[in-house]
Structure 1
Amino acid sequence: MDKAKVIKFSDTVREKLLHEVKERAAFYGIRPKDLLPVDSEHSDSIVIGGKVFNRKIKDQREHLVREVKLKGYERVMDEVTYTWFNRFVALKFMEVNDYIQVKVFTSDNAERTEPGIITHALELDFLDLDSNQVLDMKAESKDEELYKFLILRLCNYLNRTMPFMFEKIEDYTELLFPENLLHIDSIVKDINEIIPEDDWREVEIIGWIYQDYIAPKKDKVFKDLQKNIKISKENIPAATQLFTPHWIVRYLVENSLGRLWMLNRPGSKLYERMDYYIRPEQSETDFLKVSSPEDIRVCDPACGSGHMLVYAFDLLYAIYEEEGYDHAEIPEMILTRNLYGVEIDERAGELAAFALAMKARRKNRKFFQNPVHPNICVLKSVSFEEGELNAYTSAVGRELFTNDIRATLLQFNEADNFGSLIRPKAEDVSGILKLLKSKNLSENLTLLSTHQKVLQALKQADCLSPKYHVVVANPPYMGGKGMNARLKDFAQDNYPNSKSDFFAMFIERNLYLAMKKGMVAMITMQSWMFLSSFEKLRGSILDERTILSLAHLGPRAFDSIGGEVVSTTAFVIENAQRPEYKGAYIRLVDGNCEAEKDAWLREAVMQVRIVAQQMEAQ
Structure 2
Amino acid sequence: MDKTAIKRFAVTAKRNLLVSIRSYLTFHYLVTDTNLPNLTNNIIENGSQRRTLTNQETTDFKEFLDEMEILMRDYNYSEALSQLIEKAAFTWFNWVAVVRYMELHNYLPIQMRLLSSERDGKSEPDALTDIYDVIETLDLDTHYLAEIEDSLQSRADKDNSRYQYLLKQQINQLALILPSAFDSISGTVSALLPNNLLQKNGLISDLVNSDIADQDWDDIEIIGWLFQYYNSELKERVGGLKNHNVSKNELPVVTQLFTPKWIVQYMLQNSLGNEYLSQYPATQLVNNWEYYLGHEKPLIAANETQELEQIKIIDPACGSGHILLEAFEMLYQMYQEQGYSAREIPQLILKYNLFGLDIDQRSVQITQLALLLKVLEKQPRFLRRQREPIVFNVYEFKDAKKSISQEALELIANVTEFDAINEVMTTFEDAKQFGTLIMAAPILVFGT
Report the Cα distance in structure 2 between the residues aligned to 1:162 and 1:189, rounded to whole angstroms.
26
1:401 has 2:417 as partner: yes
Residue 78 of structure 1 is aligned with which of 79, 86, 97?
86
CA distance in 1, matches of 2:67, 2:413: 41
Question: Secondary structure of 1:31's partner?
Answer: coil
Whether contact under 8 Å (2:11, 2:232) holds in the other structure is no
C-alpha separation in 1, matches of 2:186 and 2:299: 58
Residue 118 (structure 1) aligns with: 128
State the SS of the aligned residue for 1:377.
Answer: strand
Q: Distance in 2 between matches of 1:394 and 1:137?
A: 54
In the other structure, the counterpart of 1:477 is none
The secondary structure found in structure 2 opposite 1:159 is: helix
- 1:148 paired with 2:164, answer yes
Equivalent residue runs for 1:128-207 within 5 Å: 128-134=139-145, 137=148, 141=155, 142-184=158-200, 186-192=202-208, 193-207=210-224
Q: Which amino acid aligns with 2:320?
A: S
What are the Cα deviations for residues 454-497 of structure 1, in whole angstroms up to 9, with x where unaligned? xxxxxxxxxxxxxxxxxxxxxxxxxxxxxxxxxxxxxxxxxxxx
**Aligned residue type for 2:435:** G
Distance (whole Å) between structure 2 residues aligned to residue 177 and residue 405 of structure 1: 40
Aligned residues: 425
Question: Counterpart in 1 of 2:62?
Answer: 59
Shift of 1:25: 2.2
After TM superposition, the structure 1 = structure 2 runs for residues 22-421 of structure 1, keeping only pairs within 5 Å, are: 22-27=22-27, 28-32=29-33, 34-38=34-38, 41=40, 44-55=42-53, 56=55, 57=58, 59-60=62-63, 62-63=65-66, 65-66=68-69, 69-70=72-73, 71=75, 72=79, 73-100=81-108, 101=110, 102-110=112-120, 112-124=122-134, 125-134=136-145, 137=148, 141=155, 142-184=158-200, 186-192=202-208, 193-222=210-239, 226=243, 229-281=244-296, 287-365=302-380, 367-368=382-383, 369=386, 370-385=388-403, 388-399=404-415, 401=417, 403-421=419-437
Equivalent pair of 1:303/1:342 in contact (CA under 8 Å) = yes
Going from structure 1 to structure 2, the CA distance change for 1:412 and 1:282 (only over 3 Å counts) comes to: closer
Q: Is the 8 A contact 2:138 2:169 kept in 1?
A: yes
Which residue pairs with 1:440 in the alignment? none
CA distance in 2, matches of 1:307, 1:286: 25
- Other-structure match for 1:564: none
Q: Secondary structure at the match of 1:26?
A: helix
Please state how far the C-alpha of 1:367 moved relative to its aligned partner: 3.7
Aligned to 1:596: none
Distance 1:120 1:284, change over 3 A: closer
Q: Give deviations 1:577-604, integer Å, cap 9, x for gaps.
A: xxxxxxxxxxxxxxxxxxxxxxxxxxxx
Question: How much is the aligned-residue C-alpha RMSD, in angstroms?
Answer: 2.6
- The letter of the residue matching 2:129 is T
Q: Is the 8 A contact 1:405 1:426 kept in 2?
A: no
Contact kept in structure 2, 1:103 and 1:117, CA below 8 Å: yes
Take 1:359 and 1:17, find their aligned partners in 2: how far apart are those partners? Answer: 27
Distance in structure 2 (CA, Å) of the matches to 1:402 and 1:165: 34
Moved more, 131-140 or 51-60: 131-140
The answer as to whether partners of 2:313 and 2:353 remain within 8 angstroms in 1 is: yes
| CA spacing shift, 1:290–1:5, aligned 2, 3 Å | same
The letter of the residue matching 1:380 is K
Choose 1 or 2 for highest CA Rg. Answer: 1
**Distance in 2 (alpha carbons) for counterparts of 1:69 and 1:92:** 35
The DSSP-based 3-state class of the residue aligned with 1:234 is: coil
CA–CA distance in structure 2, aligned partners of residues 260 and 285 of structure 1 = 7
Give the conservation status (yes or no) of the 8 Å contact 2:37–2:45. Answer: no
Decide which moves more: 372-381 or 392-401: 392-401
C-alpha contact 1:264 1:289 (8 A) present in aligned 2? no
Q: For the structure 1 residues 163 and 196, does the alpha-carbon distance in structure 2 shift closer, same or farther, using more than 3 Å as the test?
A: same
* Structure 2 match to 1:592: none
- TM-superposed CA distance for 1:383, in Å, is 3.2
1:205 aligned partner, one-letter code: I
Asked if the contact 1:343–1:378 (Cα under 8 Å) also holds between the matched residues in 2, the reply is yes
| Partner SS, residue 53 of structure 1 | strand
Counterpart amino acid of 1:259? N
**Structure 2 unaligned spans of 5+:** none
Q: How far did 1:311 drift?
A: 0.3
Distance apart, 1:137 and its partner CA: 4.4
What CA deviation, in whole Å up to 9, does each residue of 1:408-432 have, x standing for no partner? 24311111111122222225x5x42
Residue in 2 that maps onto 1:593: none
Question: Matches of 2:36 and 2:352 in 1, distance apart?
Answer: 51
Question: Which protein has the bigger strand share?
Answer: 1
Deviates more, 1:114-123 or 1:294-303: 114-123
Instruction: State how far apart, in whole Å, the 2-side matches of 1:89 and 1:183 are.
Output: 17
Q: Is the 8 A contact 2:427 2:440 kept in 1?
A: yes
The change in CA–CA distance for 1:231 and 1:276 in structure 2 (over 3 A counts) is: same
Deviation at 1:280, TM superposition (A): 1.9
Task: Kindly provide the CA deviation profile for residues 12-46 of structure 1, in whole angstroms up to 9, marking residues without a partner as x.
Answer: 110110110111122233233x21543x84x6533
Question: C-alpha separation between the residues in 2 aligned to 1:114 and 1:190?
Answer: 14
Inter-partner Cα distance in structure 2 for 1:395 and 1:15: 49
The Cα offsets for residues 108-134 of structure 1, whole Å up to 9 and x where unpaired, read as 344743101212211211221122443
Q: 1:65 to 1:182 in 2, by over 3 A?
A: same
1:2 equivalenced with 2:2 (yes/no): yes
| Secondary structure of the corresponding residue to residue 342 of structure 1 | strand
Q: Distance in 2 between matches of 1:407 and 1:154?
A: 43
Distance apart, 1:277 and its partner CA: 1.1
Query: Aligned residue for 1:520?
Result: none
* Contact 2:179/2:390 (<8 A) preserved: no
Report the CA distance between 1:313 and its aligned residue. Answer: 0.3
Taking structure 1 as reference, are residues 266 and 86 closer, same or farther at Cα in structure 2, changes over 3 Å only? same
Structure 2 CA distance for aligned equivalents of residues 392 and 36 of structure 1: 37
Contact 2:314/2:355 (CA < 8 Å) preserved in 1? yes
Deviation at 1:282, TM superposition (A): 6.4
User: TM (normalized to structure 2)?
Assistant: 0.87
Residue-by-residue CA offset, 1:122-150 (whole Å, 9 max, x unaligned)? 12112211224435646863111111111
Question: Mind listing any 5+ residue stretches in structure 1 that lack a counterpart?
Answer: 437-618
Per the TM alignment, residue 317 of structure 1 is displaced from its structure 2 partner at its CA by 0.5
1:421-460 aligned at under 5 Å gives the runs 421-427=437-443, 431-432=445-446, 435=447
Pick 1 or 2: higher relative contact order, CA cutoff 8 A, min separation 6: 2
Aligned equivalents of 1:321, 1:113: Cα separation in 2: 42
Amino acid at match of 1:15: R
Q: Does the residue aligned with 1:324 lie in a helix, a strand or coil? A: coil
Equivalent residues of 2:13, 2:201 under 8 A apart: no
Deviation digits for residues 177-220 of structure 1, max 9, x if unmatched?
A: 22322225533232113211111122111111111111111112
Superimposed CA distance per residue, residues 156-196 of structure 1 (whole angstroms, 9 cap, x where no aligned partner): 22221233332222213323222322225533232113211
| Residues 494-534 of structure 1: CA deviation (Å, up to 9, x unaligned) | xxxxxxxxxxxxxxxxxxxxxxxxxxxxxxxxxxxxxxxxx
